[in-house]
């Protein structure tokens, strides 16, 4: 990008050195290489801008596209950002993100056709994408991105934001399938990243976002299972309590039960990377002490805990260690955070530059957020404004 200060300079010779020395962002400039993002892009991102989950039949999700757009912005990777946005709009949003939230899943159908499999949108992806577009508009001085992000936020407010009795205004996981009766709502706390919501509240004060931020501590507090974050909760006049995921079990699988696992791990991550001064952060951390207590004994985070706080399965994957590391630092558990960082480094494959063997898509995304934050590649201000290393 070219800032106002840089627009009067020639971008050649010694002036480039001067510009970099005073911190002016130039087109394509990067503070330093991001090896994990490059390794991730090589394995999971194709030339069109499609993020491929190779552990799930090569499907693509709106979550993957949204996260990759955020990482591309953090890396000042404008070319990849443009491809990601274009592919998402054309394949997940019927060619128009101003009127269609992206379908959450795209892949190969039973008939062999590659297309959107489930048109329902996913609020976590929608929120991250709207936020990233608004911040891209600001950092890259591109009004199109800003306008698109604001229009996406307006769609989310219209299609996914609800008033839940006893909790207040919050965001459904998607427009359809999460409101089984008039007084009962199914929610996913990991879909509500505090920095993102706080920034939307600042940028769009006429929207519902301030109310969503205000209700979040009560949701997190009611959603915890003996101090652990839970994947799914039910909310209504009788309060908030953990529930089984809203899916039908596959043949041979046990009946789903309320638990904290692959979704809930992001609750710790979002709180950990939020600015310490963000309103509500300390209150929500106080609702979730159990993970820090559990990790006082060195080892991996649990893969799954139940609503009573009992560990159902130990030894979560490497991405879980990445996700809890900022949370542990926020809790003042420096030694436990060091143990998780050591595990992360020990499980990095020097050949691929990725974590785990084979490297799983979800683990790498958790690691990109966590290590990008710990390496100061990005930070959030108190109001959720994004700071990037290259700016």
- Catalytic residues, by residue number, are 63, 124
For residues 88 and 101, is the Cβ–Cβ distance under 8 A? Answer: no
Measure the CA–CA gap between 239 and 227, rounded to whole angstroms. 17
Cα separation, 209 vs 7, in Å, equals 35
Residue 384 CB coordination number (10 Å):
24
Residue 98 CA: distances (Å) to CA of 88, 144, 196, 207, 279: 12, 11, 19, 17, 30
* Cα–Cα distance for residue pair 148/100, rounded to 1 Å: 11
- Residue 264 Cα to chain centre, angstroms: 12
Tell me if 229 sits within 8 A of 294, measured CB to CB: no
Quote the tokens at residue 266: 């992001």
For residues 311 and 306, what is the distance between their CA atoms, to the nearest angstrom? 7
Q: With the C-alpha atoms ordered 16, 21, 26, 31, is the resulting torsion angle positive or negative?
A: positive
Distance of CA 8 to the CA centre of its chain: 37
The total of other beta-carbon atoms located within 10 Å of residue 142's CB is: 15
**Cα–Cα distance for residue pair 53/40, rounded to 1 Å:** 11
Q: How many helices (H) and strands (E) does the chain have?
A: 14, 15
Distance CA 45, CA 22 (A): 33
Find the farthest-apart pair of alpha carbons in the chain and give their distance in angstroms, rounded: 67
CA dihedral 186, 274, 101, 105 (to 10 degrees): -70
């Amino acid at each position: 990008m070219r800032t106002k200060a840089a627009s009067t300079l020639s971008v050649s010779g010694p002036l480039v050195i001067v510009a970099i020395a005073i911190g002016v962002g130039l087109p394509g400039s990067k503070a330093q290489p991001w090896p994990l993002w490059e390794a991730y892009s090589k394995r999971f991102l194709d030339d069109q801008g499609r993020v491929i989950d190779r552990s799930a039949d090569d499907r693509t999700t709106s979550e993957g596209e949204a996260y990759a757009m955020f990482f591309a912005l953090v890396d000042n990777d404008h070319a990849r950002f443009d491809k990601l946005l274009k592919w998402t709009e054309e394949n997940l949003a019927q060619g128009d993100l101003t009127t269609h939230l992206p379908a959450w899943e795209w892949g190969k159908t039973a008939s062999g056709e590659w297309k959107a499999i489930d048109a329902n949108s996913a609020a976590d992806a929608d929120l991250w994408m709207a936020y990233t577009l608004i911040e891209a508009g600001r950092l890259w001085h591109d009004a199109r991105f800003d306008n698109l992000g604001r229009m996406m936020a307006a769609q989310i407010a219209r299609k996914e934001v609800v008033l839940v009795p006893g909790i207040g205004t919050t965001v459904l996981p998607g427009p359809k399938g999460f409101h089984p009766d008039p007084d009962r709502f199914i929610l996913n706390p990991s879909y509500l990243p505090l920095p993102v919501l706080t920034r939307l509240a600042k940028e769009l004060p006429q929207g519902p976002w301030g109310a969503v931020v205000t209700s979040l501590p009560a949701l997190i507090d009611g959603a915890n299972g003996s101090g652990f974050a839970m994947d799914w909760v039910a909310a209504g006049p009788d309060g908030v309590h953990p529930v089984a995921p809203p899916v039908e079990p596959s043949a041979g699988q046990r009946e789903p039960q309320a638990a904290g696992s692959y979704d809930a791990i992001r609750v710790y991550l979002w709180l950990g990377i939020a600015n310490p001064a963000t309103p509500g952060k300390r209150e929500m951390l106080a609702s979730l002490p159990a993970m820090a207590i559990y990790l006082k004994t060195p080892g991996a985070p649990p893969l799954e805990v139940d609503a009573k706080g009992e560990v159902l399965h130990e030894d979560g994957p490497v991405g879980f260690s990445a996700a809890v590391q900022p949370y542990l630092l926020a809790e003042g558990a420096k030694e436990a955070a060091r143990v998780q960082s050591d595990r992360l480094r020990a499980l990095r494959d020097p050949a691929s530059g990725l974590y785990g063997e084979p490297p799983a898509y979800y683990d790498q995304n958790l690691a990109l957020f966590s290590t990008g934050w710990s390496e100061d590649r990005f930070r959030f201000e108190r109001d959720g404004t994004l700071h990037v290393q290259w700016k």
